[in-house]
Homo-oligomer: A and B are copies of this chain.
Amino acid sequence: MIIEKKKAFNSFSAKKGLRSTRQRDIILDFFLSTHQHISVEELYLKIKAIHPGIGNATVYRTLKLFVEAGLAREVLLHDGQTRYEHIMAGEHHDHLVCTGCNSIIEFENETIEQLQNEIAARHGFMIQSHKMEIYGLCASCRS
Contacts and interface: CB of A to CB of B under 8 A. Distances in A.
Given A74-B78, A112-B116, A116-B134, 16 more contacts: A105-B123, A107-B123, A119-B134, A120-B136, A123-B139, A125-B136, A126-B136, A126-B142, A127-B135, A127-B136, A128-B136, A129-B136, A130-B132, A131-B131, A131-B135, A132-B133
A115 B116 contact: no
A11 interface: no
A54 interface: no
A135 B142 contact: no
How many copies of this kind of chain does the complex include?
Answer: 2
Contact residues on A (Cβ < 8 Å of other chain), bracket: 20 to 34
Nearest to A98: B125
A65 interface: no
A126 B120 CA distance: 28
A128 B137 contact: yes
Contact of A99 (B98, B123, B128, B133): B128
